[in-house]
Amino acid sequence: MKIAKSQDSTGWGWGRQLGQAFLCGLVLACSVQNTFAQTTTQVNIDSFGEPYTTALAAPTTQTRVFVYRSSQVPNASPVNIYLNGQYHASLLRGGFTEFCAAPGAVNIKAALDDASRLHASKQDPGQRLQLKAGQTLFLKVDESTPPALSITSGTEAQTKPEMMETRRQIHTISRAKAALNCAEPAAVAAKPEQKPAVPREYALETDALFEFGKAEIRASGYNAIEALVQRLRQDFSSVERIRVVGYTDPIGSPAFNKKLSQDRADVVARQIASRGIPLERVIEAEGRGPIELVKTGCGNTPTPVNKLCHAPNRRVMVVITGARR
């Protein structure tokens, strides 16, 4: 019986099969290699997150803490921040870190380029902070005396210009047990609605305060000013501005009257200031002399009749701007 040989049973057939298998192996390896190359991408770790805008209110049971580096410092090396000897963050120029902590004492240490010293600075306790519940701290890394660094504290208003140029530092993870996640911020109490500031004028007759042509205050004048101060306290819940304006009659030279009105305004302003009224600015005093007469038709010679006629023109006006009750 004859057995028919197929083409693949020859040596050439076996060689062709081996060649095909080898090529398939190469294709499979290339396919796997290409697939691996397609699925692996380069990982970039960002150093900074969002820019600083404003601080939320501190939680009622925690202290909110910000630590930042100015963007203007010359040294580009990182500054490590340690809390109670444990690593918290590495601040680059223009970076800030935010965390909350339980009330009580916490040691904080700032160290420049500490990785090159194998983090030996964490052995130094640094500065001691006394944290209070509901408080927000703004701490700056002071690099004015390198290589020694310190931590300085400021108010939100003092630190905000520099803080607004910083971004959140995010490239490392805190390992400090003192750095806690922040609870919900405390609700900000609504400020009581205040009435808009409205100026109000009060007139003081200078004849009750001063002798004619003089700026030395009489004993009765102190009582008149005290009565005015008590009136201000009753009429205003808060005072923003006080202006004291002195006027004279036209009897005498304009230069003399201008100086007399200024001297009298200064005296009244000093007396009001001595009564301790809280103000947002200093009391202003101005002398206007014989302008803006409230009564006209009187003679300008120094007779008793003319002096009596001009009595309403000799006055000190106290102008108050504030929130009325």
The pLDDT of residue 208 is above 90: no
pLDDT for residue 119: 84
Average confidence (pLDDT) over 35-63? 78
Cα-to-chain-centroid distance, residue 200: 33
At residue 191 the predicted structure's pLDDT band, cuts being 50, 70 and 90, is low
pLDDT for residue 275: 87
pLDDT for residue 120: 87
Parallel/antiparallel/unpaired status of strands 236-247 and 315-324: antiparallel
Burial of 114 (0-12, 13-18, 19+ CB in 10 A): buried
* More confident position, 264 or 35: 264
pLDDT for residue 94: 96
34 sits in which H/E element: helix 11-39
pLDDT for residue 194: 60
The pLDDT of residue 152 is above 50: yes
The pLDDT of residue 8 is above 80: no
Q: List every span in the chain annotated with CATH 3.30.1330.60.
A: 197-324
Q: Cα 193–195–196 angle (5° rounding)? A: 120
Both tokens of residue 65? Answer: 């803490």
At residue 187 the predicted structure's pLDDT band, cuts being 50, 70 and 90, is confident
Distances, alpha carbon 314 to alpha carbons 207, 256, 311, in Å: 7, 14, 5
At residue 282 the predicted structure's pLDDT band, cuts being 50, 70 and 90, is confident
From 90-99, 154-163, 185-194, 311-320, the region with the lowest mean pLDDT: 185-194
Q: List every span in the chain annotated with CATH 2.60.40.
A: 48-169
Average confidence (pLDDT) over 27-55? 64
Per-residue pLDDT tens over the stretch 63-117: 999 999 999 999 999 999 999 999 999 999 999 999 999 999 999 999 999 888 8
pLDDT for residue 146: 82
Q: Are 167 and 94 contacting, i.e. CB atoms less than 8 angstroms apart?
A: yes
Per-residue pLDDT tens over the stretch 303-319: 999 999 999 999 999 99
pTM of structure? 0.48
Q: Are 121 and 127 contacting, i.e. CB atoms less than 8 angstroms apart?
A: no
From 167-171, 260-264, 280-284, the region with the lowest mean pLDDT: 280-284
Helix, strand, or coil here: 156? helix
pLDDT for residue 11: 44
pLDDT for residue 325: 81
Query: For domain 48-169, is the CATH number 1.10.287?
Result: no
Q: Are 131 and 106 contacting, i.e. CB atoms less than 8 angstroms apart?
A: yes
Average confidence (pLDDT) over 170-185? 94
Average confidence (pLDDT) over 30-42? 48
pLDDT for residue 15: 46
Average confidence (pLDDT) over 182-201? 75
pLDDT for residue 117: 84
Per-residue pLDDT tens over the stretch 254-279: 999 999 999 999 999 999 988 888 77
Q: What CATH number does domain 197-324 carry, 3.30.1330.60, 3.30.460.10, 1.10.3760.10, 3.50.50.60?
A: 3.30.1330.60
Question: Would you say the C-alpha torsion 207, 211, 216, 218 has a positive or negative sign?
Answer: negative
Average confidence (pLDDT) over 199-206? 90
State what percent of residues in the chain have pLDDT above 70.
Answer: 82
Average confidence (pLDDT) over 228-251? 91
The pLDDT of residue 190 is above 90: no
